[in-house]
Amino acid sequence: MIVLNIIAISLYTLVIIKLLYYLTNIYQQNHYDYKKTLLSLKKYYLTKKTFFCYLISIPFGVIGINNTNLPLICMSIIILTISFIFQIKYILKLKFTSRMIRLWVTSILFITIIGIISIYINSIIYILIPLYLPIIVFLASLVNLPIEHIINNYYYKLAQQKLQSFDDLVKIGITGSFGKTSTKDILYQIISKKYLTLKTPKSYNTLMGISRTINSDLNKPMELFIVEMGTFRIGEISKLSKFVKPNIAIITQIGPQHLSTLKTEANVLKAKLEIVDGLKENGTLILNTDNEYLNNVKDQLSNTYNVLTYGIDRGTYHAKNITYKVDKTIFDIYKDDMFLFQASTSLLGKHQISNILASYVTTMALKEYNIIIDDLEFKKAIEAILPSEHRLSYQKINKLHIYDDSYSSNIIGFKNALDVLKRQKGYLCLITPGIVDAGEGEKELNETIAKELNNINEICLIKNHASTYIATYLNNNNINYLLFDNFKEAYKYIFKISLEKEVYLLIENDLPDSFLER
């Protein structure tokens, strides 16, 4: 009997560790934000099959262990063993950074203390840990908070001192509701061919991410530093801009992103415009005036800053004569009414043309610092650029043509991706959970997208709150669609179709919906 009790308690411990891994992964992917993590718990923690098996085992384990009931203990062991059959395939695995290791140590210390208390009081206290494990993790995070502040402040000051030691370093700050990472990557691929250039990696766009990049990778004789600046709240970009002090600042777009924290697009504009707070004297501000918000403020900003504008439809630098092919985009670049050159790129969608224009205008601004990229060099560079992973990248698997735009989604990017899809001649398919993290505007945005889904042969919606708005519109307008529990099921369905015919598939915004797993 003692052996069975030990086995049962050991299995409960393994369940706790498995759920701790899952929970801290959610917490890390939410950038250690309590509120965003709480919103994710219902879908990404409480509904997991492992957690469900655990819930079923509770009465058997509690009654069996407390009353030394052999059949009930055996039943709890069987159920807990079954729970380990369900393996989670993570898109993004937990990164055991120094901060995460500290969080795990503190969390496990709390769990150990609870385990010791349960020995003297009642085993049910230990068995029920998965039910209040989120509270344990949050408490551990609060306990660690003073230490995290001290460590973060140390690395921040270290990075600040190092950055200030580079007298001639040209710094480019990029922000926007969307397009900032792609613009950063495009600009880097253009400039780094000729000059020593550092960029913040991936989506490292917070103060700690930028500080880490400076401390580890910024070394002399670096000539340029391209910095992506992100925000969830008012005041964050101001802090980043004052820290970096960019020579050139770019705002790519203003739109309904992160409305769960910023609430309104007016607040998004206010947050993004904070990039000028640290802009160096005589620095250049580059604006995408296709965007109504930025177009409306450009004249006012021109009174204070050196402003350059770009856009597909308007702006000093703009694009004309756009041609889309299966895996290529061709367009002309103009300055006012003057033709400059024709550009060709494997990047797809209007939004990528906009990102290329932002990069071109930046090369114009860089001439002020004797950094020269002529038009021929620029043209050759963008011809060689490959799409960033999950950002409307193209690949072909037999008869299946895949346009992978699954990194995240916004209204402009979604429409542009649909435009690329609809220009193809074949069987058109879409997999999407809709636009998530849109706050109060989620209903309106997804209904807008639903109106664009005509002439698509297969519409595959992934079950979640956002996709219900699309489904409602499609139902009301007698447009056929299919509903799937996850991306994997939808992809299998489309792949089978591609065995018989040429299929063009757009995968739009899979990652934020699936969050941790496919």
What's the CA gap between 79 and 66, in Å, rounded?
Answer: 18
Q: What is the pLDDT, as a whole number, of residue 518?
A: 39
Using the structure block, give the residue that is written with the tokens 């040209």.
170
* Residues 337 and 197 both lie in one domain: yes
Q: Across 169-243, where does the E strand assignment appear? A: 170-175, 197-199, 224-228
Name the token pair of 5: 């009790």
Q: What is the pLDDT of residues 125-155, one digit of tens each?
A: 888 898 899 999 999 999 999 999 999 999 9
Give the span between the Cα atoms of 320 and 332, in whole angstroms. Answer: 5
Among 82, 113, 147, residue at a domain's last position: 147
Give pLDDT, residue 316.
94
Domain finish residue from 115, 147, 179: 147
Residue type, 357: L
| 140, amino acid identity | A
Query: What CATH number did the domain enclosing 421 receive?
Result: 3.90.190.20
User: Is residue 326 one of the residues assigned to a domain?
Assistant: yes
pLDDT of residue 413: 80
Token representation of residue 259:
């409305």
pLDDT number for residue 275: 95
* Residue 224: predicted pLDDT: 97
pLDDT for 81 equals 79
Do 328 and 401 sit in the same domain of this protein? no
Task: Report yes or no on 160 lying in a domain.
Answer: no
Q: Would you say residue 154 lies in a domain? A: no
Q: Are residues 374 and 398 in the same domain?
A: no
For residues 184 and 208, state if they share a domain: yes
Q: Is residue 157 part of a domain?
A: no
465 and 370, same structural domain?
Answer: no
pLDDT at 8: 75
**Same domain (yes/no): 31, 178:** no
- Low-confidence spans in the chain with pLDDT less than 70: 1, 5, 42-48, 86-91, 203, 256-263, 408-409, 437-440, 510-518
Contacts of residue 302, Cβ cutoff 8 Å, sequence gap at least 6: none
Q: Tell me which of 384, 416, 434 is where a domain ends.
A: 384
DSSP 108-145: HHHHHHHHHHHHHS-THHHHTHHHHHHHHHHHHHHHHH
Q: What is the CATH number of the domain that holds 251?
A: 3.40.1190.10
Q: State the pLDDT at residue 351.
A: 85
125 found inside a domain: yes
**Do 362 and 428 share a structural domain?**
no
Is the Cβ–Cβ distance between 304 and 279 less than 8 Å?
no
| 71 and 115 fall within a common domain | yes
Range of the domain at 34: 2-147
Find, among 323, 320, 327, 297, the residue nearest to 309 by Cα: 297
Residue 348, phi-psi category: left (phi > 0), alpha (psi -120 to 50), beta (remainder)? beta
**Helices 411-422 and 442-450 sit at what angle, rounded to 10 degrees?**
10
**Chain Cα centroid distance, residue 310:** 25
Tokens of 42: 């219902």
Residues 86 and 179 in one domain: no
Inside any domain, residue 161: no
> For the whole model, what pTM was predicted?
0.76
Q: How far is CA 24 from CA 21, 96, 264, 336, 516, in A?
A: 5, 10, 30, 52, 11
Burial label for 483, CB within 10 Å (0-12, 13-18, 19+), is middle
Q: Are residues 340 and 438 in the same domain?
A: no
> Alpha-carbon distance 132 to 130, whole Å?
5
258: phi then psi, degrees, rounded to nearest 5: 55, 35
The two counts, helices (H) then strands (E), for the chain are 20, 15
Co-location of 429 and 477 in the same domain: yes
Q: Would 156 be classed as within a structural domain?
A: no
Shared domain for 313 and 408, answered yes or no, is no
Number of structural domains the chain divides into: 3
Nearest to 179 by CA among 71, 257, 96, 264: 257
Cα 208 from Cα 213, distance rounded (Å) = 9
Task: Note whether residue 60 is domain-resident.
Answer: yes
CA 212 and chain centroid, separation: 19
**Angle at alpha carbon of residue 345, lines to 371 and 174, rounded to 5°:** 50
